[in-house]
Amino acid sequence: MNELLRWMLNLPPQASSVARHIDYLHYSVILATFAGVTACAVAAVYFVVRYRRRGNELTPHVVAPGWLEATVITGLLALFVMWWLIGFHQYRELETAPPDAMPIYVTAKQWMWKFQYPSGPSSTDVLTVPVGQPVKLIMTSRDVIHSFYVPAFRIKQDVVPGRATTVWFQAETAGTYDIMCTQYCGTRHSFMRGQVVALPPDDYARWLDAAEPDHFAGKGQGQGLVARGREVAAEHGCRRCHSLDGTPSIGPTWLGSFGRVRQLVSGGAVTIDEDYITESMMDPRAKVALGFKPVMPSFEGKLAPADVAAIVELIRSLRDATPPREELPPRD
Amino acid sequence: MSSQYESIARQHATARVGMWLFLGSESMLFAGLLALFAAYRISYPVAFYEAAKHANLVLGTINTYVLLTSSLTVALALHATELGKRRASVAWLLVSIALGATFDVLKIVEYAQHVGEGFSFGHYYTSTLLPTPAVLYFTLYYALTGLHALHVTAGIVVLIWLALKVRRGDFTPASHVAFENGALYWHLVDLVWIFLWPLLYLLR
Amino acid sequence: MIDYLRAPSGIRSWLGSIDHKRIALMYLVAVTIALVLGGAFAMLMRTKLLISGPGIMQPLTYNRLFTWHGVTMVFMFMIPAIPAVFGNFMLPIMVGAKDLAFPRINLASFYVYCAGAALALWGMIHGGADTGWTFYSPYSTASPTDVAPIAIAIFILGVSSIMTGLNFIATTHMLRVKGMRWMDLPLFVWAIYATSVIQVIATPVLGLSVTLVAMDHALHMGMFDPTLGGDPVLFQHLFWFYSHPAVYIMILPAMGVITELAPTFARKNVLSYKAIAFSSLGIAFVGFLTWGHHMFVAGISQLDAAIFGVMSMFVAIFSAIKVFTWLGTLYKGSIALTAPMLYFFTFIYLFAFGGMTGIAVATTSLDVHWHDTYFVIAHFHFIMIGGTLTAFLAAIHYWFPKMFGRMYPEKWAVLSAVGVFVGFNLTFVPQFLLGNAGMPRRYYSYPDRYHVLNVCSTLGAYLLGSVMVFTLAYLIVALFKGKRATANPWGSRGFEWRVPSPPPTENFEAPLDLRLGCYEYDRE
């Protein structure tokens, strides 16, 4: 039944873990649509025939009984709200990556997709992933808004310059699936396509081993992003203000910071995630941590996206350790 | 009186309704920009707070008094027309026009000062004193006060037109709805400033 | 009495006329030109899409075409058409007045429209925009094309829209003939009134959005530039705050037309007057609270997505009430299947289908798949063509005798109505299937597997376009050669049918007699 409806509605294969139950909701809504419209058509045809004009006669004054109107309204509203509830529940699932999802960094630019793996390799337009494992894409754009869309997975997320957006999926079936940019981004928008290659886990492991290391000039041939992150942090002076081992300094320590909630000078709070870390590198005085001064310089334009990703991965790798003692703000 | 109206009173009442609708529409124009300001201020409280310190509180406050006074003088001009006192009405209108022009001139002085300090808008902003997002404060400052100043200027044109009509004797104590509507417009322009002044100058 | 068409005569008396009926006809000429132009852009686009790869035209040309198609259709046809033509013509007569509240502002609104349209056309000839009618930042700032003229043109067209709305609201409040209460008003007036409220409140925000686009592009204002701390998503909020209510500006007047057809051609009272009247207001109000459903994958929070999703479900209920009421009005009626009535049924079917697909895209998880694909294009064309354009065609046929004093050729009109239905479905049903398969919007080239459906859609578009040209042709001929019409060829109780066809300049020879309501068919 699922296959029949999927074929009739011209839907792509259900290649991800969420695709099937999203399609079930789709079927429900579309079938109800057809039923409703058919009911309207049948009623219309019946009325046209039964009440056709026979002369300029008068007609009775008919008013819809209140109970009928109330029933129609309540019934339809209940139906619509039910769909909304299920749809929202599914949406939350689509938006919330499992905690063990494997991160891959994506940079969209006119008119190509660049993928950076934490363990080192990078690729253009082809995203290789293992089947049966959740993958989380951390995405940003170098120029205008793009949108990462894999029809076979039923996932989509706009990729916005100046911030990181995320999308996750778990491929269930090995195969090759189209990636299509789906936010108009200029002349070659329709050529900005790529592919997700989902490999069985063993094949994926083999692929990863053999994969071309990161090409960036002189930097860490074949090393992971975390090691690269250490190099970047040293080279760009991050270590002058941020320690990796909990030592208090001019800036907050990176040890045990990822995923924690930090209070801000402005009175609010923020969860330390990819978004916040990226933003802090680009616009450090936007969200200043409570107890620290707004003295961090901006690295906008000074760090390649892969280096930004490397810093994020470095900080992420330090997440599970707790700082040795209560962090004290530096003396004034 | 136009033929679709049953009485001149009805026509005047309709003109007032039309004017209120127009003012409602104009308010939405500013509401959009104010919403943008609010959104960015919530995102960047520190930058906006720091940037506001560079607003010229003196000039801004003088302008507030100038506009408030001009609303008073416009009301006095309308009142004079209601009493049939043409010369007084024209005189008060001229004072209002002068005050409006003063507002515009002071705004230009303020803009020139800001630009001189490097606080221009968007990509022309060159100052390095403040966090990056402070440029948005200034971009919005120019957008809000610029749009407002455009409306003040349009209001001055309206006041000049009213003054000419008063001199020509077009208004009587019984019939002066165009004056009422023109005055309403001026008061809206003043009211918008009463929102802009605290938002841009006092939140520091 | 001499009718409004014949006296006064001379082109100057038309171009300077403050008679709402003459202004309505001038608008009719203008919006028809806009429709033909927007349709031509669409035909060119669909021609390119006959092949899946590069060819026929350059990508930049295609990108310009879909932008021009959107701008022309939305701002020069869909928004003004029914209000500025039929609202202008019928509203004063329907409230028993000799003209609108502000006839000179009415004429001015026409010339402001012309100025905006002229600037838009100049902008297009000048290389025009390739940003899409939605002008998303940062691309609208980065685009190599000249974005500002078209953006400013839209601002000007918006001013015209506000002027029209303001006039209609004032007229409805202040110029009803003595004894006509709000609940006596024809429901077309309620529809136009609700539309006008949206126009007056929402359009200024559009003006702001496009002005910021123009300034960002031409003056590097950077309001939404991430390198300056700006937020591109904030532009989307600002833009859609107008542009979602805008779609209700486009559909409400159409619904008003449909509401007039059923009582006339079924000779029956409206099943529930209050349901129609209040649902029009409900759509106008709740329609302001749903804009974020265009942004489910743009980077908004889950809470936002929840609120906008549920509000979208609520606004749909008002439309559902209307469909129920329109169909229910036919019950125990006396139905004549004329060409306008064929358009009525076309509307019911296509609007119901399109509306349900609206519910579908409001279902958040489903929209993740459908957003920015051909599914959404099909959805809104079902509403805009299947809804608004169908109602526009219904209106031009229904009110043809009233406006021109002549009948259109019924047989050709029936043929045309059927042709529109067939051509439309052939064009847009494949697009639902293309969207399901994942074909994105604004795609110059596409994967080969989408080829067959694209060819099908293009052939349907050629049919639809041909039928539209055919319709325009016979209507123009009917202007001169049509059979003379009586005051009330349809036997309607509507107020506009109680004045001559065409009406005299001052509309009424005697004041409107309100003893018989405009939907009362149970007594003489």
Q: A198 and A119 share a domain?
A: yes
Q: Is B150 on the interface with C (CB under 8 A)?
A: no
pLDDT given at position A280: 87
Number of domains forming the structure of chain C: 1
Q: Which residue in the set A32, A84, A160 is minimally distant from C299, CB to CB?
A: A160
Q: Is C142 on the interface with B (CB under 8 A)?
A: no
Number of domains forming the structure of chain A: 3
Q: Contacts of residue A300 in chain C, CB cutoff 8 Å?
A: 227
Q: Contacts of residue B44 in chain A, CB cutoff 8 Å?
A: 286
Chain C, nearest residue to B44 by Cα: C229
Q: Is A60 on the interface with C (CB under 8 A)?
A: yes
Distance from C170 to chain A by nearest Cα, in Å? 31
- Over residues C222-229, the mean pLDDT reads 88
**pLDDT confidence band for A302 (50 / 70 / 90):** confident
Contact A189 C521 (CB under 8 A): no
Contact A73 C520 (CB under 8 A): no
The answer as to whether C248 is a domain residue is yes
Q: Which residue in the set B43, B47, B132 is minimally distant from A298, CB to CB?
A: B132
Q: Is C372 on the interface with B (CB under 8 A)?
A: no
Q: Contacts of residue C332 in chain A, CB cutoff 8 Å?
A: 51, 59-60, 62
Question: Across all residues in chain C, what is the average pLDDT?
Answer: 96
Q: Which has the closest alpha carbon to A159: A179, A169, A145, A149?
A: A145
B19-40 pLDDT per residue, tens:
999 999 999 999 999 999 999 9
Q: A78 and A125 share a domain?
A: no
Q: Is A283 helix (H, G, I), strand (E, B) or coil?
A: coil
Report whether the peptide linkage leading into residue A111 is cis, meaning its omega lies within 30 degrees of zero.
yes
pLDDT at A219 over 50: no
The rounded distance, in Å, linking the Cα atoms of B70 and B75 is 8
The answer as to whether A142 is a domain residue is yes
Q: Contacts of residue C216 in chain B, CB cutoff 8 Å?
A: 122
Contact A44 C266 (CB under 8 A): no
pLDDT given at position C145: 95
Q: Is A302 on the interface with B (CB under 8 A)?
A: no
Q: Quick one: what percent of chain C has pLDDT higher than 70?
A: 100
Chain C, nearest residue to A34 by Cα: C353
Question: How many contacts, defined by CB atoms under 8 Å, are there between B and C?
Answer: 116
Distance from B81 to chain C by nearest Cα, in Å? 25
pLDDT at B137 over 60: yes
Q: Contacts of residue A285 in chain B, CB cutoff 8 Å?
A: 46-47, 131-133
Q: A149 and A114 share a domain?
A: yes
pLDDT given at position A115: 93
- Say whether pTM exceeds 0.90: yes
Contact A288 B43 (CB under 8 A): no
Three-state SS across A246-275? CCCCCCCCCCCCCCCEEEECCCCEEECCHH
Higher pLDDT, C145 or B128: C145
The rounded distance, in Å, linking the Cα atoms of C371 and C355 is 16
The answer as to whether A55 is a domain residue is no
Chain A, nearest residue to C446 by Cα: A190
Lowest mean pLDDT among A124-133, A311-320, B157-166, C290-299: A311-320
CB C31 within 8 A of CB C81: yes
Interface test with B, best of C201, C208, C217 (most B CBs within 10 A): C208
pLDDT at C161 over 50: yes
- CB neighbour list of residue B122: distance below 8 Å, 6 or more residues apart: B135, B139, C216, C219, C220, C221, C222, C223, C225, C228
CB C194 within 8 A of CB C284: yes
Distance from A296 to chain B by nearest Cα, in Å? 10
Domain of C409 in residue numbering reads as 21-498
Q: Is C138 on the interface with B (CB under 8 A)?
A: no
Q: Is B29 on the interface with C (CB under 8 A)?
A: yes
The answer as to whether A165 is a domain residue is yes
Supply the CATH number for residue C168's domain: 1.20.210.10
Supply the CATH number for residue A235's domain: 1.10.760.10
Beta bridge partners of A102: A135
**pLDDT confidence band for C278 (50 / 70 / 90):** very high
Helix axes C302-330, A66-95, angle to 10 degrees: 150
Q: Which residues of A215-241 are buried (b: 16+ CB within 10 A; e: fewer)?
A: eeeebbeebbbbbbbbbbbeebebeeb
pLDDT at B2 over 60: yes
CB C148 within 8 A of CB C122: no
pLDDT given at position A297: 82
pLDDT given at position C157: 98
Interface test with B, best of A163, A285, A302 (most B CBs within 10 A): A285
Contact C229 A286 (CB under 8 A): yes
Chain C, nearest residue to A275 by Cα: C299
- Over residues C235-248, the mean pLDDT reads 97
Q: Is C229 on the interface with B (CB under 8 A)?
A: yes
Q: Is A158 on the interface with C (CB under 8 A)?
A: yes
Residue C503's φ and ψ, nearest 5 degrees, are -75, 160
Contact C363 A29 (CB under 8 A): yes
Q: Is A143 on the interface with C (CB under 8 A)?
A: yes
pLDDT at A18 over 60: yes
pLDDT at A332 over 50: no
pLDDT given at position A306: 79
The answer as to whether A324 is a domain residue is no
Q: Quick one: what percent of chain B has pLDDT higher than 90?
A: 85
Q: A182 and A257 share a domain?
A: no
The rounded distance, in Å, linking the Cα atoms of C65 and C15 is 32
Q: Which has the closest alpha carbon to A208: A316, A307, A104, A313?
A: A104
Binding partners of B (≥3 Cβ pairs within 8 A)? A, C
pLDDT given at position A222: 43
Residue A128's φ and ψ, nearest 5 degrees, are -100, 130
Q: What is the DSSP letter of A210?
A: H
pLDDT at C335 over 70: yes
ipTM: 0.94
Structural domain boundaries of chain B?
Answer: 26-202
Q: Is A331 on the interface with C (CB under 8 A)?
A: no
- Over residues A203-222, the mean pLDDT reads 64
pLDDT given at position A223: 57
Interface test with C, best of B28, B144, B150, B181 (most C CBs within 10 A): B28
pLDDT given at position A119: 79
A40-78 pLDDT per residue, tens:
999 999 999 999 999 888 999 999 999 999 999 999 999
Domain of A140 in residue numbering reads as 102-210
The rounded distance, in Å, linking the Cα atoms of B95 and B104 is 14
Q: Which residues of C52-77 are buried (b: 16+ CB within 10 A; e: fewer)?
A: beeeeeebbebbbbbbbbbbbbbbbb
The rounded distance, in Å, linking the Cα atoms of C359 and C367 is 10
Contact A151 C372 (CB under 8 A): no
pLDDT at A218 over 50: no
Supply the CATH number for residue A125's domain: 2.60.40.420
C52-77 pLDDT per residue, tens:
999 999 999 999 999 999 999 999 99
The answer as to whether C14 is a domain residue is no
Q: Contacts of residue C208 in chain B, CB cutoff 8 Å?
A: 29, 32-33
Q: Which has the closest alpha carbon to A124: A305, A275, A327?
A: A305
Contact C369 A22 (CB under 8 A): yes
pLDDT at A221 over 60: no
Q: Could you write out the DSSP letters of every residue in A90-115?
A: HHHHHHS--TTPEEEEEEEETTEEEE
Q: Which amino acid is at A21?
A: H
pLDDT given at position A323: 54
The answer as to whether C211 is a domain residue is yes
Task: Write the class of the CATH domain B26-202.
Answer: mainly alpha
pLDDT at C462 over 60: yes
pLDDT at C266 over 80: yes
Q: Quick one: what percent of chain A has pLDDT higher than 70?
A: 92
Q: Which residue in the set A58, A94, A190 is minimally distant from C444, CB to CB?
A: A190
Q: Which two tokens stand for residue C152?
A: 């400013």
Q: Is B47 on the interface with C (CB under 8 A)?
A: yes
Cα dist from C316 to A27, C261, C286, C312, whole Å:
20, 22, 10, 6
B98-117 pLDDT per residue, tens:
999 999 999 999 999 999 99
Cβ within 8 Å of C, A 66-95: 69, 72-73, 76-77, 80-81, 83-84, 86-95
pLDDT given at position C227: 82
CA atoms within 13 A on the CB side of C87: 32
Contact B143 C223 (CB under 8 A): yes
Distance from C24 to chain A by nearest Cα, in Å? 32
The rounded distance, in Å, linking the Cα atoms of C19 and C66 is 36
- CB neighbour list of residue C465: distance below 8 Å, 6 or more residues apart: C39, C42, C43, C423
pLDDT at C253 over 90: yes
Chain A, nearest residue to C266 by Cα: A53
pLDDT given at position A267: 75
The rounded distance, in Å, linking the Cα atoms of B196 and B29 is 13
Chain B, nearest residue to A296 by Cα: B131
Q: Are strands A102-109 and A134-141 parallel, antiparallel or unpaired?
A: parallel
Q: Contacts of residue A298 in chain B, CB cutoff 8 Å?
A: 132
Contact A286 B45 (CB under 8 A): no
pLDDT given at position A213: 58
Q: Which has the closest alpha carbon to C151: C89, C208, C80?
A: C208
pLDDT given at position A216: 43
**pLDDT confidence band for C458 (50 / 70 / 90):** very high
Three-state SS across chain B? CCCCCCCHHHHHHHHHHHHHHHHHHHHHHHHHHHHHHHHHHHHCHHHHHHHHCCCCHHHHHHHHHHHHHHHHHHHHHHHHHHCCCHHHHHHHHHHHHHHHHHHHHHHHHHHHHHHHCCCCCHHHCCCCCCCCCHHHHHHHHHHHHHHHHHHHHHHHHHHHHHHHHHHHCCCCCCCCHHHHHHHHHHHHHHHHHHHHHHHHHHCC
Q: Is C146 on the interface with B (CB under 8 A)?
A: no
